[in-house]
Amino acid sequence: MGVPALAEQFVSVNSSEELQQALHYVTEQGLPYMILGGGSNTLFKQDYSGLVIHNQLTGINVLEQTNDHVLVQVAAGENWHQWVTYCLARQWHGLENLALIPGLMGAAPMQNIGAYGVELKDVLHAVEYFDSIDHRFHQLTNAECEFDYRDSIFKKQLAGRAVITSVRFKLPTKFSPVLGYPELNKTLKNKPDPTAAEVFNAVCQVRNAKLPSPSAIPNSGSFFKNPVVSRGQLTELRAHYPEIVSFVHGDKIKLAAAWMIEQAGWKQREYDGVCIHQHQALVIINPGHRPGDAVLALAKNIQADIMRKFNVELQLEPQVY
């Protein structure tokens, strides 16, 4: 978000040994710590009084390859979008819809990142992490990660203790496009049987049209999660807002937060130098590099207004420190 914030202490770790040394150090010193990847989904309200550990673990290793799939282990410091393009070049499929998501590999399982009809849990095989409490390495299967919408065990029971070191993927070698997202379908309307590269390019085109790059305009992508409500609550909302945008989400309903924010009149509005992006109501931008408190003030005003108008709670997507 481009906020002016400093860390009391900072270290980059390039190996699992350096990571363990850093975590032993904070234990001995009684210091708080946080793991920082690309930083695109992190918001600092103030300076950080502790050690920021910048995860720079790299490496991509093929563990198994058959005619049907490939099993690959990827270190947590690898860039996510570069990993997607790496797979595309080798005809390893399943990640095309997740192109251009900013950040590093280690953050992907925490958030169960997703876009355009695909989530990380659809392709993830296992996660390796180092436990800062017992100082041991552990591995969790896909099911053990307890993935949900923008959620996982790493944000619940293992929050503050699990440092993700690598992610394993089981990717098919046969391409099967996922084209349920309306804007993706629209972009590919003249290609009834698109290739993986065409889906990848279409996703990049849609994202570039809607979402500003964090390197160009400070932002965290979608600042709010799409709220999940009961079918009964959707019925009540439709009585007042017949055109409300919604999607089936298991036995519940996912509402389009951007639609509600736009209907409430927040799109392009500015508050204390922070504003809503002109093309996407879910995106808060901080062109003036205002402090984190200013960003959160705008977010809280939006949350309160959506609760007042729709009786729906909007939850923040970025991690706030």
DSSP string, 31-45: --EEEESS-TTEE-S
Give dist(CA 263, CA 244) in Å, integer.
Answer: 9
Which of 40, 150, 168, 290 is an active site residue? 150
Return left, alpha or beta for 123; rule: phi > 0 is left, psi -120 to 50 is alpha, else beta. alpha
Q: Are strands 42-43 and 319-320 parallel, antiparallel or unpaired?
A: parallel
> Among candidates 31, 6, 201, which has minimal Cα distance to 116?
201
Q: Which is nearest to 118 in space by CA: 134, 97, 99, 135?
A: 97
Q: Which of 166, 207, 222, 290 is catalytic?
A: 222
As a whole number of angstroms, the distance between CA 200 and CA 142 comes to 25
Residue 3 contacts residue 286 (beta carbons within 8 Å): yes
- Three-state secondary-structure class, residue 99: coil
Q: Catalytic: 222?
A: yes
Degrees, nearest 5: CA angle 183-184-190? 105
List 96, 119, 128, 317, catalytic entry? 317
What residues are annotated to the active site? 150, 222, 317
